[in-house]
Structure 1
Amino acid sequence: MAGHGGRGADGAALALATFVTGCTPGRPGSAGPAGPASSAASRAARDAGDAFAGAGAEAERGIAARGGVDARHEVRLGAVALGGDGRAATRVVARNTAGSAKSFAVQVDFTDRAGNLLDLTVVLVGDVAPRSTGRGAARGNRRPHGEVRAAVGTTLRY
Structure 2
Amino acid sequence: MRPRGRARWTAGGSALALALGALLAGCDSYSSPTDTASKAESAVGSIASQASEAVESATAEAGRRLDDIQGGVDVKGDVKVAAPVVGSDGRARAEVTAHNTDDSERSFAVQVNFTDAGGGLVDTVIVTVDHVQPGDSATATAHSTHDLSGKIRSQVARAVRY
CA distance in 2, matches of 1:112, 1:17: 20
SS in 2 for 1:92: strand
Query: Structure 1 residue 22 and structure 2 residue 50: aligned?
Result: yes
CA RMSD of aligned residues (A): 2.2
TM-score, normalised with respect to structure 1: 0.75
CA distance in 2, matches of 1:91, 1:53: 20
2:5 alignment partner, one of 2, 20, 40: 2
CA distance in 2, matches of 1:144, 1:110: 9
Q: Structure 1: state its 5+ residue gaps.
A: 26-44
Write the mapping of 1:1-158 to structure 2, written as runs, cut at 5 A: 1-4=4-7, 7-18=34-45, 19-25=47-53, 45=54, 49-50=56-57, 52-53=58-59, 55-63=61-69, 65=70, 67-158=71-162
CA distance in 2, matches of 1:22, 1:83: 18
CA distance in 2, matches of 1:72, 1:53: 16
The amino acid across from 2:50 in the alignment is: G
- Large movers: runs of 4+ above 3 Å: 4-10, 18-23
Identity %: 31
Aligned residue-pair number: 134
Query: Could you tell me how far 1:57 is from its partner in structure 2?
Result: 4.0
Query: Could you tell me how far 1:106 is from its partner in structure 2?
Result: 0.6
* Contact 1:23–1:117 (Cα < 8 Å) also in 2: no
